Amino acid sequence: MSLTPASLTDKPMELSAVLTPSPEGGYIAFNPETGTTTQGETVEEALSNLREATELYLEEFPLTIVGRPLLTSFQVPERA
């Protein structure tokens, strides 16, 4: 299924966002479907910045989604 930016369709795209605390403060936001990455001082700002960056990316590089990403976690020894 080929998907284009929400502004060009009636149905918005549902994408993933992974937010991690930044060592400098705030959050780093990553969209695994497109690889877009940005940051913000708050969760809301990071998500807003990620939404904007992803929309700009999709204007140039339309996305074909074949399935939903699976987000999980795993552990490694603390001193790996």
Q: What are the tens digits of pLDDT across the range 55-76? A: 999 999 998 877 777 888 999 9
Q: Which of 22, 23, 3 is nearest to 13 (CA)?
A: 3
Identify the band that residue 80 occupies on the pLDDT scale cut at 50, 70 and 90. Answer: low
- DSSP single-letter state for residue 34: T
- Locate 66 and state its tokens: 């074949």
Express each pLDDT in 23-32 by its tens digit: 999 999 999 9
Break the chain into its structural domains and give their ranges.
2-64
pTM of the shown model? 0.77
Amino acid at 36: T
pLDDT greater than 50 at residue 47? yes
CATH topology of domain 2-64: Double Stranded RNA Binding Domain (3.30.160)
- CB-based contact 39:27 (threshold 8 Å): yes
Which of left, alpha, beta for 38 (phi over 0: left; psi -120 to 50: alpha)? beta
